[in-house]
Structure 1
Amino acid sequence: MDMASIKCLINSISRFVHLVSSQRSKPMPIQKDYKTIVDVLKLLKPLLDEVVDYKIPSDEILYKECEELDMAVNGAREFMENWSPKLSRILSAWRGEPLLITIQSSSLKICSILSRLLQSSSSGSSLIGLQHCVQEIRCLKQERVTEYLEEALKSQRKDTMPSTKHLMKIIELLSLSSNQELLKESIAVEKERMNVEVSDVRGELDQINQMVILVSHIREFMVKIEHLETASGIPIPSYFRCPLSSELMLDPVIVASGQTFERSSIQKWLDHGLTICPKTRHRLSHINLITNYTVKAMIESWCQENDIKLPTNSDGFNAISVPSPSDRVSPEGSIHTDSNSTSRSSLEVGSVFEKQMKDVSTRLSGEKSNGCHSSEKDHSSPKQSCTHSRSESATSAVSSNDYAPPAFIKVSGISNKHENVNELSGEITSEHPVASTPNKESAMPSRLSGKHSLISKIKAEGTWTDSPIYPNRHQLLPFSSSGSDELTTSSHVMKLIEDLKSQSNEVQTLAAEELRLLAKHNMNNRTIIGQCGAITPLVSLLYSGVMLTQEHAVTALLNLSINEDNKAMIAQAGAIDPLIHVLKTGNDGAKENSAAALFSLSVLDEYKAKIGRSGAVKALVDLLSSGTLRGKKDAATALFNLSIYHENKARLVQAGAVKYLIELMNPDTGMVDKAVALLANLSTIGEGRVAIAREGGIPLLVEIVETGSQRGKENAASILLQLCLHSPKFCTLVLQEGAVPPLVALSQSGTPRAKEKAQQLLSHFRNQREGAMGKGK
């Protein structure tokens, strides 16, 4: 045996040191331990270099130890390379720490051997370096989380609860102190258990089952020590907390096992493909989520009794409001029934338009209607509409480039036929509440009767009612700030139009606000306001220096645009440039509503190109990058509609949209499906494909194919197909990211469209491989 084993070890150390030094984007649970070991290996490497450079006589013992250390270093490097933030922290520490212990032990043995070899053939400086290395290794007495894990597992095997000390150390060392981190850990461990279950590795499965139990113990321990309380110091009863996230249930739902969870928490669990009940450990017969109205009512009652104000979610509505028995609508605005509720918590009826466009520019602000109502009674039956949220917009539904809809819908993706998206309504209201009966969701018609589509029932207003900038805003209103259902008169509207032209800013603001509210609910009011000539002065006010006036004006125009005639008049009044001005200069609410208004106008085919040429794309991309969450959603919705027009795709890419869309592919943003749907449109042009690859989109797309929603998987597979078909280089990158296993799974268990895309990709990979083999012959 020669110096080859030492040289291999030196090379492995260099690779490992480089990897650890460059690991900044995704810190591991035991990252600090790895960095400490790297410091030791940096001291050891010069000594090994000296042995090779000066050909110092060595023996078999050194070679053997070098081989063992080489295996441990390479194992640690591969472990780091394969690690992902989505993996279990507990299992990562359990598998990663033993490698570090082996490296530490083996390094010490090599130093001992080198000490003997260098005594006679090296300078004093080498021996000093060796002594320093030995001292550093011996001083490594860091806390090992595996020690606490082992003790906790021992307790569990004895059917006893792990000690408080051990649990606290595990929580501290692995940063599992927050409810959300524990939820992520629960999902990660369960996914690992499923993977091992498939591979049928008995011993490992038993170990992971113990880890699943340990996570449950940690969660129970956290609940005990947190004493979860409200802001007023009142303890929250354990039965009002989600068994999965330990947080107060704002939207409790029942799963197939009969257990109740917070919707957002169990939805994350299901979205990762987990079909085991987190509490009973029984397999779920279905993944439908049914709102638990009993628990919901109990929580609301408890909050009222204790004078507790419930939190509101990011969409600005009360996340725990309990509908009456006749108004069974979830906070997301979804109708849930025993057999037809879905885990996506969205109203899904037959029409692709209704699915795609259901929340294109909904606005659930402080100006909200109660429960579920039909829109104007002259245009649809009470059963045909309900309040929708902004949680799902057109862009999250489907890319327009290759979606083949059902035969009864003559569209491709999001249709550009404006008659199918006639109206974009401010808010769903009616004089008549909707009477809900079980299993009505499947019976809902896919297309509404009359000339108004479902989109006319969708809310279009933005958030302004709770603005801290205008605390006394309500004093300005001569009538209810929630909007007016009363039919106005032409004479009254004419008076308001005169006020819009007043020299007084306050008078202008009052008039714009009243027109906004009159147009918010009543279809006839929108017609009267448009016919009286209010649109032109409202467009002029978009340049107002008073932010509140500007916001009222743009929101009034958005509400008026629900009416097709008004939409055309707004476009003809030259509103595009003023709307872009609002996008650049307005407050958050005004920017959001300006983006929604541009979307509304872009429904008109001739204005897709005009808006694209006007400079709106750059302003929308800016909103996509730095706006509020609602603003980003509105910008994505508008950009999606503009991207249907082919020439606009290049404009979006040139404006830098791809970079921000890839950033929005982070699940924490809640915009993954919207971002991927828009990227699917942009991937049909060369510039778009290059930008997607350049901005690091390929790894994220592969991840979405594996863990995303059904719609996200479809569009991610579509993008990857575009990349691979047009570039062998991109195809190689996709393969390097490990795309084959998730694509195989998708080809077998995805939706029909997802299966088709996955099969096309896999077939392309095979053809590429066979072609390469043929050339090799």
Structure 2
Amino acid sequence: MSSTAAGEETEEGSQTAAAVELLSRTVMEISGLPEFRGPMRSSCYDLSRRVRLLSPLFDELRDAVRDGSISGLDVSSLGSLVDALVSAKELLRSVCEGSKLYQVLQYEEFASKFQEVAEHIEKALSDIAYDRIAMSEEVKEQVELVHSQFQRAKGRINSPDTQLLADLSLACNVKFAEPAVLKRLSEKLQLRTINDLTKESAALNDMVIVSDGNPDEHLEEMSFVLKKLKDCVVTENPISDVPENKPSLGKLKFPVIPDDFRCPISLELMRDPVIVSTGQTYERSCIQKWLDAGHKTCPKTQQNLSHMALTPNFVLRSLIAQWCETNGIELPKKQGRCRDKKSGSSSDCDRAGVYLLLQKLENGSRDEQRAAAGELRLLAKRNSDNRVCIAEAGAIPLLVKFLSSPDPRTQEHAVTALLNLSINESNKGSIVGTGAIPLMVEVLKNGSMEARENAAATLFSLSVIPDNKVTIGKAGAIPPLIDLLCQGSPRGKKDAATALFNLAIYQGNKVKAVKAGIVTHLMKLLVDHSAGMLDEALAILAVLSSHSEGRTAIAETSPIPILVEVVRAGSPRNKENAAAILWSLCTTDVQQLKILKELSAEETLKDLSENGTDRAKRKAGSLLQLIQHATEA
């Protein structure tokens, strides 16, 4: 053998040895990850388990490299497997360390990442020439098993927990969520203790840091839910996470301020924490004074600041407020050492800029008005400070006026700006008070698809206040919402369904919806699986079935076979709603009970009474009793 060939063989051998070593180390690192928790637990567990099952293969490869018994194994195929497993490790680590709330909201995105990694590993395993590796039959069988598992996993995505999604939606959109909803969220997300919530807060904070000043659009609502969960956890278990040999914070006369809650400049408790471009958090007034003095570096790290923007740290501010409340401490109104008259307001809102936009909206040309409405829309979406500032500047009456704009784009901007402003609870009353609801209904009837969708979403937002449900129903919103439910885009249908569900909680709106023909359309959605509206349709029908006219309309559509099939094969939440509808129908209509009995639904109902949600168990048990009484009679 020539020296050149020997050198190439030695180099290839060292590359193979390095790849095998990296594969083994990566599997060890995956095995050492913390217990998987939260909404992606099942996907994490499946991926981790399959990767760990490959360990015997890598042990055999290590022995073969040591003995020199590998002949002609393609190093690039091992490199591809290394890349795939490193991607798996990074994904698993990001989920372990990441925000559980974000994983629920972006479930499809995370599920897609798990799919990509599984496909990458499957392809890499396919490219390895196993006949060139001296390994036992037992290991070969195990590798084949793992390979087949990855093959089956391709294109198969775990379904999201619909109950979890519904609870999170409720917690995001309702100011005072029921304790039972928050408790379910806390359990399912495994955010049960103060330590869990602190880690979740840190994960959200990391999202802000890596966003480079453009945080995710869901950040504010995640912070909103996190505060509610913390309230719930503190109420349920106020001294959890505290070692037995130490008093709880609530019992300390002078509780120690956590280091993360102190400004690195003043060392005092932060009132208005903000993030600079290096990712460090400071009290706004302190860092602003530092910047006003001409400094262009981060005081803590001494790194140059890439920009001077200050991003509000909503999550930390919420946690500080909760900590103060728990410990009976009044949140400081000023930070004496740092604040001076030049430090300005704590709000991020450019008031002068907002007033200029309002002037253009009121007196500008059509193009200027369109542009001004668009900028207000974006500003209102950005953060809560802007929503307060824009409303205080008097924007709501002007935006309501432009709901009747003949320019479709300006109308879209006005509707969406009002939608964003309505996120603030105090703005809801101002929007309704300026006569927005009848105009919003007109947009819902005649606007562009985007305008109609956002009008539906705005009406839902406003209907969170009970009195507004009546006003919106009287304004004639229900028929056009039903039209959008039937003819809209997928997003439009979801917006319409959400609004209709919330409006139908008021008894008078149930009658309006039934008379507008909603039941026929909802029953069609139950059997049209391509529409993807089964969850929403069942939820609305369950609400309508509590009213006599609703029950009559549902009964006229021959619903029993469809509902029994949902009880048999639906998701836990859909089974619950289907059972509730069946119970409402069968307790008031002997004919419906007779049909249920003829379908031999007892076994299906018995299974639900044993394995369903608490509410589903109760409804299924009551239905079984009805069937038994009817049989005895």
Q: Output the TM-score relative to the length of structure 2.
A: 0.52
Q: CA offset at residue 674 of structure 1?
A: 1.5
Name which of 160, 165, 185 aligns with 1:344: 160
The answer as to whether partners of 1:714 and 1:753 remain within 8 angstroms in 2 is: yes
Answer whether contact 2:404 2:439 (CA < 8 A) is retained: yes
- Are the equivalent residues in 1 in contact too, given 2:485–2:494 (CA < 8 A)? yes
**Structure 2 Cα separation of the partners of residues 372 and 538 of structure 1:** 22
Alpha-carbon spacing, 1:375–1:655, altered in 2? closer, same or farther (3 Å): same
Aligned partner of 2:423 in structure 1 is 562
Separation in 2, partners of 1:663, 1:758 = 24
Give the aligned partner of residue 543 of structure 2.
681
1:578 is matched with 439
Following TM superposition, by how much is the alpha carbon of 1:296 offset from its aligned partner in structure 2, in angstroms?
10
2-structure distance, mates of 1:735, 1:527: 58
Paired residue secondary structure (2:423): coil
Matched, 1:721 2:583: yes
The alignment status of 1:707 with 2:569, answered yes or no, reads: yes
- Following superposition, the deviation at residue 770 of structure 1 comes to 1.2
Query: What pairs with 1:87-102 in structure 2 (closer than 5 Å)?
Result: none
Between the aligned partners of 1:353 and 1:592, the Cα distance in structure 2 is 22
Q: Among 320, 330, 333, which residue is 2:106 paired with?
A: 333
Q: In structure 1, how many angstroms separate the alpha carbons of the residues matched to 2:629 and 2:320?
A: 50
Give the one of 732, 736, 740 matched to 2:594.
Answer: 732
C-alpha contact (below 8 Å) 1:618/1:652 kept by paired residues: yes
Q: 1:628 corresponds to which letter in structure 2?
A: S
Alpha-carbon distance between aligned partners in 2 of 1:506 and 1:704, rounded to the nearest angstrom: 52
Matched, 1:533 2:394: yes
Question: CA separation in 1, counterparts of 2:614 and 2:225?
Answer: 33
The 5 A counterparts of 1:51-200 are none
Report what 1:653 is aligned to. 514
1:529 alignment partner AA? I
1:591 aligns with 2:436: no
> Aligned partners of 2:280, 2:603: CA distance in 1, in Å?
47
Counterpart secondary structure, 1:499: helix
CA shift at 1:565, angstroms? 1.6
Quick one: distance in 1 between partners of 2:505 and 2:85?
42
In the other structure, the counterpart of 1:498 is 359
Supply the distance in 1 between the matched residues of 2:350 and 2:482 (Cα, whole angstroms): 40
Q: Hey, what does 1:605 align to over in structure 2?
A: 466
Deviations 1:227-275 (A, max 9, x none): xxxxxxxxxxxxxxxxxxxxxxxx99345585779xxxxxxxxxxxxxx
Structure 2 residue identity aligned to 1:725:
T
Aligned partner of 2:486 among 608, 611, 625? 625
Q: In the alignment, residue 593 of structure 1 is paired with which amino acid?
A: N
- 2:220 is aligned to 375
Query: Is the counterpart of residue 763 in structure 1 residue 628 in structure 2?
Result: no
Contact kept in structure 2, 1:500 and 1:537, CA below 8 Å: yes
Give how far 1:574 is off.
0.5
Give, in whole Å, the separation in 1 of the partners of 2:321 and 2:502.
25
What does 1:179-258 correspond to in 2, within 5 Å?
253-254=43-44, 256=46
Q: 1:691 aligns with which of 515, 536, 553?
A: 553
Q: Distance in 2 between matches of 1:606 and 1:551?
A: 26
CA change 1:297–1:706 in 2 (3 A) is farther
Instruction: Please say if residues 586 and 593 of structure 2, whose CA atoms lie closer than 8 Å, have aligned partners that are also in contact.
Output: yes
* Contact kept in structure 1, 2:387 and 2:424, CA below 8 Å: yes
Gaps of 5+ in 1: 1-250, 262-293, 302-321, 361-367, 386-406, 409-429, 436-443, 452-484, 772-777
CA RMSD of aligned residues (A): 4.4
1:714 CA drift (Å): 0.7
Give the deviation of 1:739 after TM superposition.
Answer: 2.4
Residue of structure 1 equivalent to 2:606:
744
Shift, 1:615, TM fit: 0.4
| Distance in 1 of aligned mates of 2:221 and 2:172 | 18
Q: What amino acid sits opposite 2:495 in the alignment? A: D
d(CA) in 1 for partners of 2:579 and 2:319? Answer: 33
Q: Does 1:550 align with 2:411?
A: yes
Contact 2:397/2:434 (8 A) holds in 1: yes
Return closer, same or farther for 1:568/1:359 CA change in 2, 3 Å cut-off.
closer
CA contact (8 A) 1:253 1:260 kept: no
2: distance between equivalents of 1:372 and 1:500? 26
Counterparts of 2:597 and 2:539, CA distance in 1: 22
Q: Note closer, same or farther for the CA distance 1:502–1:605 as it changes in structure 2 (3 Å cut).
A: same
Tell me which residue corresponds to 2:15.
none
Deviation (angstroms), 1:735:
2.6
How big is each residue's C-alpha offset from its partner over 1:12-35, in whole Å with a ceiling of 9 and x where there is no partner? xxxxxxxxxxxxxxxxxxxxxxxx
Q: Distance in 2 between matches of 1:724 and 1:738?
A: 15
Runs (5+) with no aligned partner, structure 2: 1-40, 52-82, 112-157, 175-212, 230-234, 237-273, 282-314, 323-345
State yes or no: 1:639 paired with 2:484: no
Corresponding residue number in structure 2 for 1:289: none
Q: Distance in 2 between matches of 1:540 and 1:607?
A: 20
**1:745, CA displacement in angstroms?**
0.9
Q: Is the 8 A contact 1:530 1:560 kept in 2?
A: yes
1:670 is matched with 532
Query: CA 1:372/1:508 → structure 2, altered by over 3 Å: closer, same or farther?
Result: closer
Q: For the residues of structure 1 that align with 2:626 and 2:225, how far apart are their CA atoms?
A: 50
Deviation at 1:347, TM superposition (A): 9.3
AA at the equivalent of 1:253 = S
Distance 1:608 1:631 in 2: 20
Q: State the Cα distance separating 1:507 from its structure 2 match.
A: 0.8
Identify if the C-alpha distance between structure 1 residues 380 and 608 changes in structure 2 by more than 3 Å, giving closer, same or farther.
closer
Is the Cα contact below 8 Å between 2:351 and 2:389 reproduced in 1?
yes
- Partners of 2:98 and 2:44 in 1: CA distance: 19
Alignment of 1:308-327 (within 5 A): 326=98
**Does structure 1 retain, via aligned residues, the 8 Å contact 2:444–2:480?**
yes
- How far 1:332 moved relative to its partner? 4.2
Shift in Å, 1:575: 0.6
How far has the Cα of 1:603 moved from its partner? 1.2
Cα distance in 2 between the residues matched to 1:752 and 1:381: 24
Cα deviation for residue 384 of structure 1 reads: 8.0
Q: Distance in 2 between matches of 1:717 and 1:382?
A: 32
Per the alignment, residue 385 of structure 2 pairs with: 524
Q: What is the distance in 1 between the residues matched to 2:217 and 2:495?
A: 23
Percent of counterpart pairs with the same letter? 40
Which residue identity lines up with residue 571 of structure 2 in the other structure?
S
The aligned counterpart of 1:356 is 170
C-alpha spacing 1:681/1:434, structure 2 compared with 1 (3 Å): farther
Shift in Å, 1:493: 1.4
Give me the whole-angstrom Cα distance separating, in 2, the residues matched to 1:563 and 1:256. Answer: 41
How far the C-alpha of 1:688 sits from its partner, in A, is: 1.1
Distance of 1:382 and 1:753 partners within structure 2? 26
Q: TM-score, normalised by structure 1?
A: 0.43
Deviations 1:557-611, CA, capped at 9 Å, x for gaps:
0010111221100000111111111111222221111001001111111111111
Alignment-mate amino acid for residue 170 of structure 2: Q
Q: In the alignment, which residue of structure 1 is the partner of 2:79?
A: none
* Structure 2 CA distance for partners of 1:607 and 1:359, relative to 1, 3 Å: closer
Q: C-alpha distance in 2, partners of 1:296/1:562? A: 43
**Post-superposition CA distance 1:740-771 (Å, at most 9, x none):** 22111101111221111000000011111212
2: distance between equivalents of 1:381 and 1:624? 28
Contact 2:361/2:398 (<8 A) preserved: yes
- Distance in 2 of aligned mates of 1:709 and 1:617: 28
Q: What is the aligned partner in structure 2 of residue 471 from structure 1?
A: none
Q: Is the Cα–Cα contact under 8 Å of residues 572 and 612 in structure 2 kept in the other structure?
A: yes
